[in-house]
Structures are given as C-alpha cells and as structure tokens.
Structure 1
Amino acid sequence: MKLTKYTHACVRLEKEGKVLVIDPGTFSESEEALRGSHAVLVTHEHNDHIDRAAVAAALQGNTTLEVYAPAGVAEALKENGEVADRVHTVEPNSGFEAAGFTIRTFGGQHALIHAQIPVVANIGYLVDDNVFHPGDSFVVPDGINVKTLLVPIHAPWSKVGEVVDFVISVRAPKAFPVHDGLLNEVGRGIVEGHVTRIGARYGTTYARLVPKESVEV
C-alpha cells in the first residue's frame, strides 16, 4: 500500500488502482489529494480535517466517490440530495468496506481542548489492519496489532508526554506524523526527538514525512 502525506492531517492511501483519502482539510492540499479518489474517510467536523467545499466538489465531479464520516459531517454533506446516497454515517466500534479497503473504527469523541469548548464526535480509522489514523484523539485500538501509526504530533489539545505515551501504547513497528501544521522546525525537532528516542525503546521506528512525500507500508 502506498501512503502519501499531505500538509497537516491528510493522507492518501493507494492499492490495486484504488484510492482512499483520510481527512482532506483546509490546511492540506485537499483538491490534489482528492483527485481520482474512490473513498474518503473523515474523522471529525473541524475544518483542518475536512474542507467541505473541496469534498462537496469532489462528490459532484466524481460519481463513484463515497464519503464516510461522523453523523454531523455526513448530515451536512447530505444536504445536497444528489450525493446523499454516497455519504455514509460512521459509528465507533464498527467495520465496513470502502473502495476495496477494510475499515475498522475506534474511539468516539474528540480529545478535550478546554472545559468551555464542546467536545465533538471523532472516529479513528484502521485501514486493512495496517494504517491507523486516530483523528484528534489518542484512542488506542484494543486487541489490534497496528502496523503503521499516524501520530498527531502537535495539537491545542495535547502535550508532548501524551504524544509519546500514545506511541508507546500502540507499539506499531512504523510511525509517521500527522497534525503537524502548527509546528515550526524548532518545535517539530523537539517533539520528534522525544518520539523517536523513546518510541524506539518500545519497538517503534518513527520517520518524518514532508508534504507530498510517499512511502510503502
């Protein structure tokens, strides 16, 4: 499977001629990531994880595209009745097939930012028992040996110790960054240094991917 990272939280997965995109948000090169895609997974409603205009345009322009998202996101996209049958509501602790990829879901809510900021629904997606994208959460898939972990390196809702604990709790052999759009190079180096050093003690090899860089997983 080919994994391509885009800016911030968006990744594109490709296998056997099929394309699955996760979290094409406004911080990312969403239109490029969505080009030729067959399925889209959205973890939650925040704009850095879904560019509504780009996803709506992709649904209009690609009549085979299917979108899977939590209820609030799905209902908003279904307001365009022409595409409603291709937009699917996703619940946690479930499984389904999307464009030839096997999907399992975990979690259910976004990590707490502040007591006065409402918590929204958030779904973590495990693709083909391989790649796990947690969205904005540190939910650990139970009873699963994740092979490739996408790590939210930095967020308004996290601290470095929580990032490291997430990596060593999942213990995936490979880990790559997501949710890094708010970091400069100095801050990135600090966080990634801890993740790389401590993660290695628990069997995880962490590697940085720059936007539009691809790797086989």
Structure 2
Amino acid sequence: MRLTKLEHAALILEENGRKLFIDPGSFTTAITEAAQTVAIVITHEHPDHWTPEQLDRILGKNPDAQIFGPAGVAAAAGTVPVRVVKAGDVVDVGPFTLEFFGEKHAVIHETIPVVDNVGVLVNGSVYYGGDSYTVPVGVAVDVHAVPAGAPWLKIGDVMDYVLAVKPKRSFPTHEMTLSKAGKEMANARITWATEQNDGEFYPLAPGDTLDI
C-alpha cells in the first residue's frame, strides 16, 4: 500500500491500483487524478476536510465510489449519498478495510459547536484521527497521521497524543495554516514524541509518498 500526502488534511492510499481518499478539503489543490477511486472517507463536516467541488471531481470519474463519514457529514452533504459510520464500525471496500474510532471533534472554544468526527484505521496500519485526539485503543499503529496545526490544537497535547498512540512511523498533517517556521517547530516536537517509543518521523510535504 502506498500513502501520498496532499495539502493540509488530505491523503491518498493506493492498493492494487485502487485509491482511497481521506478528507479532500478546501485547503487542498483541486483533485484531478482520481481514476480508480473506490472510497472517500470524510472525518467531519468542516470545509477544510471536504467540499462539494472536491467530491464532484472524484465522483465524476468514479460514480460508484462510496463515501463514509459520521452523521454530521451526511447532513452537511445534502443529496450526496454518505454512508454513516461510527466508532466500532468496520467496513470492507475494494482492497481497503476501514475501522472507525471516536465520536466528536476536539473542542475549539465553548462558543463553537462540537461536531461529529470519526478517526479511521486503514488496513490495520494507517491511522488518522481527524480533528481529534482519539487513541485507537488496542491497535498497534504502524503509520500515524499527526495533526500539526489547528485552532483546536496545542502542540503539547499533540505530543501526548503521539506518546499514547505509540506509532512505528508518523508524519505531519493538518498544517496548511502554519508558517514554514511553525511547521519546522511542530515537526521537531512530533519527532521527539514519536522517538520516545522507538518510532520514526517522516516530514512529508504535499506530494511525498510513503510505502506501507
């Protein structure tokens, strides 16, 4: 399986020529290379994690691709069919097994509603928690997509999150709001936390790949 990081929170996973997109949102360059997509996972309804335009681009080339997300995503997507998933659900689609964790987005501020959010574990290996610090309890995570910058995020909490997940490998995501200096600082902190459990950090930039 090959992982490709896109801008901000978006990822592509490829296995046997088939693709899975995760969180193709508004901070991600328009997606044009989407042939052979079997599924899209949207962790929550915020536009930096999905837009109707990004879905249209993917579905235009793959009308049978399935979309998975929590109830809030299904409500926000309107007439676009979304299969609602929740913590504990396990789904097989094409060459991918998707296991879902968690229920809610991390708190931004008491005045801002807390929306539905699910984390996803792909093929028992790659874990992305969306906008949350949900730990996939009982899972030996190979690759952890770690949020690096967000309105809801404090880097000390991110470090504790990585320490709890104990991934063999990690890389940064959710970082398009950071400056170059901010990305370097976040990467250094995530590196430290990953290495405490003998893991390795990969400073992936948009377009970079990692073989799983």
Identify the TM-score tier after normalising by the shorter chain: over 0.9
Quick one: structure 1 residues 76 and 114, their matched pair in 2 at CA, closer, same or farther if it must change by over 3 Å?
closer
Listed as ranges, the gaps of 5+ residues in structure 2 are none
In structure 2, which of residues 139, 143, 165 is the aligned counterpart of residue 144 of structure 1? 139
Kept in 1: contact 2:170–2:194 (CA 8 A): no
Q: 1:202 to 1:133 in 2, by over 3 A?
A: same
1:88 aligns with 2:80: no
Distance 1:59 1:37 in 2: 8
Structure 1 position 48 matched with structure 2 position 44: no
* 2:130 partner amino acid: G
Helix, strand or coil for the counterpart of 1:58?
A: helix
In 2, Cα distance between equivalents of 1:198 and 1:134: 17
Structure 1 residue 97 and structure 2 residue 92: aligned? yes
Structure-2 separation of matches of 1:121 and 1:40: 17
| 1:179 equivalent in structure 2 | 174
Structure (1 or 2) with the greater helix fraction:
1
Question: Aligned-pair distance for 1:33?
Answer: 5.7
Q: Quick one: distance in 1 between partners of 2:30 and 2:89?
A: 26
Equivalent in the alignment of 2:6: 6
Inter-partner Cα distance in structure 2 for 1:163 and 1:196: 11
* CA shift digits 1:141-195 (9 cap, x unpaired): 0111111100001111011101111111101100011101111111111121122
Aligned CA RMSD, in angstroms, stands at 1.5
Query: Quick one: distance in 1 between partners of 2:83 and 2:182?
Result: 37
CA deviations 1:27-60 (Å, max 9, x no partner) are: 0124236444211000000000002222034324
Given the two structures, how large is their TM-score scaled by the length of structure 2? Answer: 0.94
Paired position in structure 2 for 1:28: 28
State whether structure 2 residue 110 is matched by structure 1 residue 106: no
Question: Larger deviation: 32-41 or 93-102?
Answer: 32-41
Contact 2:3–2:209, Cα closer than 8 Å, also in 1: yes
**Distance of 1:188 and 1:180 partners within structure 2:** 7
For residue 132 of structure 1, give the secondary structure of its aligned residue in structure 2.
Answer: strand
TM-score (norm 1): 0.92
Residues 70-102 of structure 1: CA deviation (Å, up to 9, x unaligned): 12322443515xxx3xx3111122111122201
Q: Secondary structure at the match of 2:14?
A: strand
Hey, what's the Cα distance between the residues in 2 that align with 1:107 and 1:115? Answer: 20
Q: Conserved in 1, the CA contact under 8 Å of 2:167 and 2:194? A: no
**2-structure distance, mates of 1:147, 1:10:** 19
2:159 is matched with which residue? Answer: 164
- The alignment covers a number of residue pairs equal to 212
CA distance in 2, matches of 1:210, 1:13: 15
In the aligned structure 2, how far is the partner of 1:179 from the partner of 1:144? 22
Aligned to 1:204: 199
Q: Percent identity?
A: 35
Distance between the aligned counterparts of 1:172 and 1:32, measured in 2?
A: 31
Name the stretch that deviates more: 147-156 or 58-67: 58-67
Q: Is the 8 A contact 1:9 1:25 kept in 2?
A: yes
